[in-house]
């Protein structure tokens, strides 16, 4: 603790038009120096990645505003007959440094299993992208007291075969499904409990020193008014923000809380 980076990512999902995406990126970039101790990543719809890269003035691994670009999804193969898919190297080519992998919407609506998430995360790492690997239980699973079992299974399955270097090059996002887009945020205690469990699992996979370096984000209805208390928890190192990332001021206000907690 203390030395871990703070990283807040905005998952724009399938929202905004091109002009709105550009304006949002410019708004975030112009305020990014107010939260200098916290890294920012924007994950626009893939069709707007080039426009946002341009708005951020990104050039091959260089971001003058310090704001990074991420994909929302990728394919696990480097190229070929995969209509509609995007290869990891294409994300790098357009200026991305990271990519969300295994978001709960991908898992539930598009059938992504832990095995698929594992393949995609490894493909991202092989290409030089930071995978933001998402896990989280449903409301039913929480009510059945299965949160720890479900999250453990997702972590073990999604990170199978990871080396310590793979793990420190990744971000984990704990997103309880019942908190995503619902306005129902996990209490800081609920979130911290699962983050600590995840860190314990990461230590089992590798070793304690490695686990202590891994950034674990919380996601699920993070807003400016609840980010401060979440950021103060020992194992919450950042946030993956959906709805509130669509407003530059809200997104920056969230990041500021994490910058101040660093
Ligand atoms: P939310 O979404 O902030 O709108 O709840 C979070 C996410 O899906 O990553």
For residue 239, report the distance from its CA to the centre of ligand 1, in Å.
9
C-alpha of residue 8 to centroid of ligand 1, in Å? 12
Residue nearest to atom 7 of ligand 1 (CA): 242
In this predicted structure, what is the pLDDT of residue 1?
Answer: 45
Active-site annotation holder among 103, 105, 141, 257: 103
Render pLDDT for 219-232 as a digit per residue (tens, 0 to 9): 999 999 999 999 99
Q: Which residues contact 12 (CB under 8 A, 6 or more apart)?
A: 21, 24, 42, 43, 44, 45, 72, 245, 246
Residue whose Cα lies nearest atom 6 of ligand 1: it is 242
CA 231 – CA 234 distance, rounded (Å): 8
Angle at 249 between CA 248 and CA 254, to 5 degrees: 100
Closest CA to 29 of 240, 228, 255: 255
* Partners of 172 in beta bridges: 133, 216
pLDDT band at 61 (very low <50, low <70, confident <90, very high): low
Q: Which residues pair with 3 in a beta bridge?
A: none
Active-site annotation holder among 119, 175, 195, 257: 175
Index of the ligand 1 atom closest to the CA of residue 220: 5
Q: Could you count the other beta carbons within 10 Å of the beta carbon of residue 187?
A: 11
**Cβ contacts of residue 250 below 8 Å, gap of 6+?**
223, 224, 244
Which pTM does this prediction carry? 0.97
Q: Which atom of ligand 1 is nearest to the CA of 223?
A: 3
Q: What is the mean pLDDT of residues 89-109?
A: 97
| Residue to substitute in 7, 11, 101, 136 for testing ligand 1 pocket (most ligand atoms within 8 angstroms of CB) | 11
Q: Is the pLDDT of residue 46 over 60?
A: yes
| Residues 42/69, Cβ–Cβ less than 8 Å | yes
Q: Are strands 171-174 and 215-219 parallel, antiparallel or unpaired?
A: parallel
What does the pLDDT look like over 201-210, one tens digit per residue? 999 999 999 9
Q: Sketch the domain layout of the chain as residue ranges.
A: 7-261
Which ligand 1 atom sits closest to the C-alpha of 134?
A: 9
The region that residue 217 occupies, defined by phi over 0 for left and psi between -120 and 50 for alpha, beta otherwise, is beta
22 CA → ligand 1 middle, Å? 20
Q: Using 50, 70 and 90 to split pLDDT, how confident is the model at 45? A: very high
Does residue 75 carry a catalytic annotation? no
91 and 129 Cβ atoms separated by less than 8 Å: yes
What CA–CA distance (Å, rounded) separates 9 from 116?
Answer: 22
Higher pLDDT, 262 or 134: 134
pLDDT in tens, 66-81: 999 999 999 999 999 9
Spell 46-55 as b/e; 16+ CB within 10 A means b: bebbbbbbeb
Radius of gyration of the chain (CA): 17
Is 103 a residue of the active site? Answer: yes
Gap from CA of 11 to ligand 1 centroid (Å): 7
- Residues 152-173: pLDDT tens digits? 999 999 999 999 999 999 999 9
Ligand 1 neighbours by CB, cut-off 6 Å: 11, 175, 180-181, 219-222, 240-244
Q: Which residue has the tokens 């294409």?
A: 90
Candidate CATH numbers 3.40.640.10, 3.30.470.20, 3.90.1300.10, 3.20.20.70; the one for domain 7-261:
3.20.20.70
Chain segment 110-149, per-residue pLDDT in tens: 999 999 999 999 999 999 999 999 999 999 999 999 999 9
Q: Residue 238 is encoded by which pair of tokens?
A: 């950042």
Question: Kindly report the CA angle at 247 between 99 and 182, in degrees rounded to 5?
Answer: 75
């Amino acid at each position: 603790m203390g030395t871990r980076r703070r990283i807040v990512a905005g998952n724009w999902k399938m929202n905004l038009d091109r002009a709105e995406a550009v304006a949002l990126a410019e708004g975030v970039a112009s305020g990014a120096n107010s939260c200098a101790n916290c890294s920012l990543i924007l994950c626009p719809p893939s069709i707007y990645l080039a426009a946002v890269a341009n708005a951020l003035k990104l050039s091959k691994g260089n971001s003058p505003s310090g704001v990074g670009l991420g994909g929302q999804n990728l394919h696990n193969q480097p190229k070929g007959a995969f209509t509609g898919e995007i290869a990891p190297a294409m994300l790098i080519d357009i200026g991305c440094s990271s990519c969300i992998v295994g978001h709960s919407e991908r898992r539930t609506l598009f059938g992504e299993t832990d095995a698929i998430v594992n393949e995609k995360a490894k493909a991202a790492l092989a290409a030089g992208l930071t995978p933001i690997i998402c896990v989280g239980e449903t409301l039913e699973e929480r009510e059945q007291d299965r949160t720890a079992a479900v999250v453990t299974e997702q972590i073990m399955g999604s990170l199978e075969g990871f080396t310590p270097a793979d793990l420190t090059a990744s971000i984990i996002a704990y997103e309880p499904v019942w908190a995503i887009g619902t306005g129902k945020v996990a209490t800081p205690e609920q979130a911290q409990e699962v983050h600590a469990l995840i860190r314990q699992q990461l230590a089992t996979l590798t070793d304690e020193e490695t686990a202590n370096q891994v950034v674990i984000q919380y996601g699920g209805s993070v807003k400016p008014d609840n980010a401060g208390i979440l950021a103060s928890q020992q194992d919450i190192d950042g946030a993956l923000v959906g709805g509130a990332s669509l407003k530059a001021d809200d997104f920056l206000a969230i990041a500021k809380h994490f910058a101040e907690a660093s």
